[in-house]
A and B are shown apart, each in its own frame.
Chain A
Amino acid sequence: LGTMGNRLQRINVENTEENRRAFREILFSSDASISQSIGGVILFHETLYQKDSSGKPFPALIKEKGIVVRIKLDKGTAPLAGTNGETTIQGLDGLAERCAQYKKDGADFGKWRAVLKITGTTPSQLAIQENANTLARYASICQQHGLVPIVEPEILPDGDHDLQRCQYITEKVLAAVYKALNDHHVYLEGTLLKPNMVTAGHSCPKKYTPQDVAEATVTTLLRTVPAAVPGICFLSGGQSEEEASVNLNAMNQLPVSKPWKLTFSYGRALQASALAAWVGKTENKKAAQEAFRKRAQINSLACKGQYVMSGKTDTAATQSLFTASYTY
């Protein structure tokens, strides 16, 4: 809810349930060709139970386009005492029952976001191990109820660390995550990974090319993610829409063999242009859908390494979507 608030605030639209519903309706009522670019949609609890103006529930609207429905399952962060501001994630209580209910109500995937940050002293051993463990517990429970768990160990881009440090940390974190998934007997072929790309911190003075980001990211994944995992959908983590697409494209163009699909799981990076086109006005619905469809298609091309930057992107696409210490 708070997040939608941020987004709507940027376009000066009041953060009411109706406005939130209206915006999502715009996205979900895009015509069926969107299913060529979008494989799944992640919903928040409120959204799963909302309907469009004709009374059709959102999940039905989405599924008839052949897109799968995902539901966010965690209940936000909780502090880890004795650490330097580090957190774990709550949401395990009654998770089994919630999963069973969501599955009945149309969800097929679950999402759970763990958060780690890089500083001189973090992430600590405890933070890594604790977050890996809760991710594994969540994944195990999801699978028991027919939901595919999306495993998301996000390492925030906040900070001035360089690319190498991010790579080092990401490798350590992912190794811990897959050890935990193994310990908890999670069926890897029925999971997806949603990691950060390996990038320098936002306030790092050194600049890196999409090629640098692509190589660092893919190397990290080759060293830690077993081939049995069918797909990796990157989070955009505050990158602009254009940056996120270009980086994904560079990864898919790398001449190295990758056993998993590399694709996207973008929130901000897919919706910014659509939000800017909508600005809360019903008459802008078509324009917003068009912006959304274009962005989705660009990313779809990026998944195949076929995206060619046109050079004439609109302002919304290049605007940085970074919000410090992003919380859901």
Chain B
Amino acid sequence: MTHQYPALTAEQKKELSDIALRIVAPGKGILAADESVGDMAKRLNQIGVENTEENRRLYRQILFSADSRVKKCIGGVIFFHETMYQKADDGTPFVQMIKDKGIVVGIKVDKGVVPLAGTDGETTTQGLDGLSERCAQYKKDGADFAKWRCVLKISENTPSALAIMENANVLARYASICQQNGIVPIVEPEILPDGDHDLKRCQYVTEKVLAAVYKALSDHHVYLEGTLLKPNMVTPGHSCPTKYSPEEIAMATVTALRRTVPPAVPGVTFLSGGQSEEEASINLNAINTCPLMRPWALTFSYGRALQASALSAWRGQQDNATAATEEFVKRAEV
């Protein structure tokens, strides 16, 4: 091994660390409003609304025009590229609206999953090409953090060693590039809840995956204090016959994290992974009251779980806009 070539200056490190801490300040979490056009189609379809750019803009406007009560609960909002450059009816850019509430703006930067040949339907995530230039531009346009989602699944023979190693590596490259451009990378190695595996198996797999992720981050000289982790909670598969209490889920989740996530990481923002709004909040609460010592902030980064009520309240009707925003605020406060 050779000498250290510092990846970041002290000033760069401080900026990254400050941003990370602001996002996970006590009581705050992240609103993931970064659904791609395809994802939005599904959501809007469920409430009978057409998936046009205008409707997507209107919907996000509802969320972003929530009053300042959300300041206490939301530390950051993740945008999709399209939303980053949209404006409210009165011409205020969404980015501006969010920053005015003292909330940090984030941007989804991955370009979706691609298959890993020779595996049982496993994937890696693309988006590294020109990532540095894109990050620099997003930083100029107001973003201070980014999100990149990797996906793994549990079955008899997955996740394979290749899938774990490849996804960990790509997450580390993304994180390294982000930090070079003053952007805090949220590292998201999502293990899907699909399947009939039990809680223990999920815990085992989650520990292996997270250990690989943090080794890769170390190998790539990533500054941990300027990152956040967005993992799945440890839960049984969706079709698992055994039921578990929130306390069991909390214990399994916190134990897995304690064994793999270095204390230097300032915060862990859980994805909801298909849990209902209520389930996600109850589990997060149990996690935060778990008797094991937790050195990182533990909070949320919810998309569906924060927005479902708001979506149904809206149903594309303008007049329902305020009611919808109200639903959103209520959910955030919980």
Contacts and interface: CB of A to CB of B under 8 A. Distances in A.
Nearest to A226: B259
A41 interface: no
A182 B258 contact: no
A219 interface: yes
Given A175-B214, A182-B260, A223 B224 contact: yes
A123 B219 CA distance: 15
A259 interface: yes
Given A226-B258, A226-B260, A226-B261, A182 B4 contact: no
Contacts of B211: 178-179, 182-183
B47 interface: no
B243 interface: no
Interface residues of B, number: 26
Interface string A156-188: 000000001100110110011011001100001
Interface in B1-36: 1-4
A188 B211 CA distance: 12
Contacts of A165: 3-4
Contact of B4 (A120, A164, A175, A178): A164
A124 B1 CA distance: 5
Interface in B264-305: 264, 293-295
B253 to A, nearest CB: 13
A32 interface: no
B43 interface: no
B4 A226 contact: no
Contacts of A188: 259
Interface of A: 120-125, 128, 164-165, 168-169, 171-172, 175-176, 178-179, 182-183, 188-189, 219, 222-228, 257-259
B262 A224 contact: yes
B263 A122 contact: no
Nearest to A225: B262
Contacts of A164: 4
29 contacts: A120-B3, A123-B1, A125-B1, A168-B4, A169-B1, A171-B218, A172-B218, A176-B215, A179-B211, A179-B212, A179-B214, A179-B215, A182-B207, A182-B260, A183-B211, A219-B264, A223-B224, A223-B262, A223-B264, A224-B218, A225-B262, A227-B263, A227-B294, A227-B295, A228-B255, A228-B258, A257-B263, A257-B295, A258-B263
